[in-house]
Chains A and B, each alone.
Chain A
Amino acid sequence: MRVRVRLFAAYREIVGRGDVRWTGNAGTTVDALVEDLIRRHPRLAGHRDSMILAVNHEFAPPDAVLRDGDEVAIMPPVSGGRP
């Protein structure tokens, strides 16, 4: 199973690219993919609790199951700012 992983802002800088191809077993969850990325890029570990996840352009929980061809996004919290 191959998925496309999109990374943004600080995460993109840590990984060095904003667009990564990732191969894993069918039935893998988003969470397992994130674990694997953290193993490869340990500086992501400190961001783990604030990561926002999406699959195919919709927010997704960590236990979402991935399918071949999915697009996963791993995103820092959006800009915020005071109202």
Chain B
Amino acid sequence: MIRIQRGPIDVAAVVDSVRRDDAGAIVLFLGTVRADAGVRALDYEVYRPMALRKLTDLAERAQAKFGVLGMTIVHRLGRVALGRDSVAIACASAHRREAFAAAAWAMDEVKRIVPIWKAEAAGARPKPRR
């Protein structure tokens, strides 16, 4: 399942979306909004059609590269408050090693090739953050 959404991420639903009888492991990664100095929230801007395409591609590549049985990626769009989830990745595999590796690789790819930008919501004017 690949999704970009404004509302909160239903983490249990993300996990259940990859749950299957031939999996012996599910790894869940959550990226959360960290309280760096002066930050009240993060605003996520997304180039949706390209982001959906890139997320779909990378989930397929994760299956080919690591042999995972299923992968779900959900990313927030718009404002996300401190401590809340901005991205969730779940993947299922027969054994835990592939699921850990695939989740770590997928998150690196999200940061590298998926057109999503975040800006700090500190005061009235958001400023870019790398």
Give the Cβ gap from B36 to chain A, nearest Cβ, in Å.
Answer: 11
**Chain A CB within 8 A of B116 CB:** yes
Q: Which of B8-16, B20-28, B105-113 contacts A (4 or more CB under 8 A)?
A: B105-113
The answer to whether A75 and B47 touch (CB under 8 A), given A10-B128, A81-B130, is yes
Chain B interface bracket (under 10, 10 to 19, 20 to 34, 35 or more) = 10 to 19
Check B111–A79 contact: CB distance below 8 A.
Answer: yes
- Are A73 and B50 in contact, CB atoms less than 8 angstroms apart? yes
Bound form: Cα–Cα A18–B34 in Å: 28
| Residue A24 interfacial (CB < 8 Å) | no
Contact assessment for B130 and A8 in the assembled complex, using a CB-CB cutoff below 8 Å:
no
A contacts, CB < 8 Å to B: 6, 8-10, 52, 54, 57-59, 73, 75-81, 83
Residue numbers of B with Cβ under 8 A of A are 45, 47, 49-50, 53, 107-108, 111-119, 128-130
Q: Would you list 23 pairs from A and B whose C-beta atoms are within 8 A, ordered by A residue?
A: A8-B115, A8-B117, A9-B119, A52-B115, A54-B50, A54-B115, A57-B50, A58-B50, A73-B47, A73-B115, A75-B115, A76-B128, A78-B113, A78-B114, A78-B115, A78-B116, A78-B117, A79-B118, A79-B129, A80-B130, A81-B111, A83-B107, A83-B108
